Structure 1
Amino acid sequence: MMKIALSWEELLEQAAKKLGVRYEEIDKVGVGYPDIASAICKAHSNAVAGKYESSLSKLKREIAALTAWYPDQRKRDIFANYLQDLCPAWIITTNYDLVIEGLLTGRSMPLGPNDSLSSRKGIIPVFHLHGRRTNPEEIIIAQEDYVTLFRPTEYRQIKLALTIKESTTVLIGYGLGDVNVLTALDWSRNVFKAAETTYQSDVIQILRTESPN
């Protein structure tokens, strides 16, 4: 179990090491992390003379193991109170870990990318847009995983865009680095533009940085 939460790059680097792939030899100039994940799988499948699909499955299992992380009890108590004060109606995360559920024990329901974004009354749905570590096969990490997100009538993209459009959304600690989230945000701002807004649908970004602008 990791003692800290890893960044996307650190996660791929550690997973590559677990698979015996030299991360420093992967071409990373001008490519995104999904492409790097695909390259790791290709390098692994070539090294073991196996199928690419098998290497991708192994990568996802390593990602699941590396995200088995929870903050200590002191931090859980602090941040659980913050979430309680926010009183969110729903939570969407691109993280694979279950840290949020650990802060909302008994008050949340984890949902995977193949689940509908809904829950019973009094329970906060935590929708893991890119999958949960408890189900490695549904993890979205490589380029081919992302391709499915951009199908014309893909539920996750439509639901995410409509949820942002119809609600006040707070982005916490998220730098808009994921292309499908950016796409949903752009779509939400450009649909029904001529219609009169009769409800609040602001997007508020909270991001800690040394040089804010």
Structure 2
Amino acid sequence: GEGVFQAIDDTRPNGSIFIITNVRAGDMDDPNIQFGWTMGGQPGVIQAPNNDYTIVGKQAAEIAKSFTKDWHPRFKPLFDEMDESEAAFWKITCSTPSGVPEWPNEPRVTVIGDAAHSMTPAGGIGANTAVQDSALLGRLLREAGGYKPGVTAAYEKEMRVYGSKAVHQSYSTASVAFGVSINEETSPVV
């Protein structure tokens, strides 16, 4: 087949992990192809050593290898033969599913993209929403003939509407697919 594939390991008592890759069957025997993949898990399943979400290289690669040591032999080369220098561990955060919060407007400063509305990669809409932010802000600045009082407030008001919808969509997809759950009473993000 063609496209992006997901493999899920639901054998762990504390939750599932998964990989997403675009490996195609005919590519497996071509030594010139470097494969890319992303591993994820339900919250709390994959823990960074000492809560250090900045680790890269061999240490990050060893974490992936430890989770996949018992996987089917057809998957093993993805991990056993990875370029360890390219491995990275990172934590994904998501804004509250109830929407983009309001903050006091600073007339000459605003935020776009993840700074305004971070979301999981579920649904693949984060970058699109960031581009929508920049297009909206650019249009408002152009229509005003450059910076004018009220431009950033107008941008933030409109951005909160579609940004909140995008965060909710991403969160809903992540909840179903990966078991992500945010209790807004105790934590504004995961």
TM-score between the two structures when normalised by the length of structure 2: 0.25
> Bigger radius of gyration, 1 or 2?
2
Q: Give the number of the structure whose residues are more often helix, by fraction.
A: 1
TM-score between the two structures when normalised by the length of structure 1: 0.23
Q: Relative contact order: is structure 1 or structure 2 higher (C-alpha 8 Å, sep ≥ 6)?
A: 2
